[in-house]
Amino acid sequence: MDSFFSPTANCRVRWQDLPGSGVPLVFVHGLGCASSCEYPRVVVDKAFGGRRAILLDLPGCGYSEKPRDYSYSITEQACVVAELVAHLGLESCFLYGHSMGGSISIEAAALLGDKVAGLVVSEPNFHPGGGFFSRQICSYSEAEFVEVICQQLVAQDDSPWAGSLAVDAPWAVWRGAASLVAGSDWFTRFVDLPKPKQLIFGEHSLPDDDFSSLKTLGVSTVVLPECGHSMSWENPTALAAALTAFCR
């Protein structure tokens, strides 16, 4: 596990650099998650093809530090992704972002410009209003979520998500959710991005209006079988294969 100091978050941010060949793929996780928890199984899958992978734990999550005086907004987290790419001296990389990480990666791709070889997002937040979990989280005050609700969610949830949520800072989770609810027009930003791009959905998450709209607009879309939103846990081989096919 490596680390660098992020001026944006004013803390140490940690990542795993898993060796491989080709242009590296940077993984950006979703709300209440951590790449160090979620993506090793995807990267070691034979379908991933041995590409170099950078697994980033965003500030407030996983092994990264968890400052209290940081916004955890989508925009500032995107700046952290760009800082990591600069710190690593990457001249070119692919970005993959899931859910909240998809929204972050859309903004990071704009910041990184020519350094981005392509962008893949899976079931991202495209619009203000948030998703099911972010709306649920923001139905409570930050103080109530930090002091009571987050621990209750961990105790009540028996999915792999609970494991990463348990080690994320609850204030980071709440502020990330609040930033998703406040939102931005990430849909238009994604459409307008002048880079190779792709949208991935699990079949159990369909039908979806954004998926249909992007397919009509000619944006590359992929449906993963036998999974829903938690595709990295439910069908890691299919996700690995989709990422490998795109990065070719």
pLDDT along the chain (248 residues), means of 10: 97 98 98 97 97 98 98 98 98 98 98 98 97 95 98 93 95 98 98 98 98 98 98 98 97
What is residue 225's DSSP assignment?
A: T
CB within 8 A of 194, min separation 6: which ones?
A: none
What pLDDT does 162 receive? Answer: 92
Q: What pLDDT shows up at residue 75? A: 98
pTM above the 0.95 mark? yes
Looking at residue 229, what is its pLDDT? 97
CA 194, distance to chain mean position in Å, is: 20
- Nearest 5°: phi and psi at 98? -110, 135
Question: Is residue 67 classed as helix, strand or coil in its secondary structure?
Answer: coil
Q: Is 10 helix (H, G, I), strand (E, B) or coil?
A: coil
Residues 188-197 pLDDT 10s: 999 999 999 9
State how far the Cα of 227 lies from the Cα of 42, in Å rounded to an integer.
14
Q: How far apart are CA 59 and CA 34, in angstroms?
A: 10
Contact 219, 199 (CB under 8 A): yes
**Would you state the pLDDT for residue 99?**
98
DSSP symbols for 99-163? THHHHHHHHHHHHHGGGEEEEEEES---STT--HHHHHHTTS-HHHIIIIIHHHHHHH--SHHHH
44-56 per-position pLDDT tens digit: 999 999 999 999 9
Beta bridge partners of 116: 93
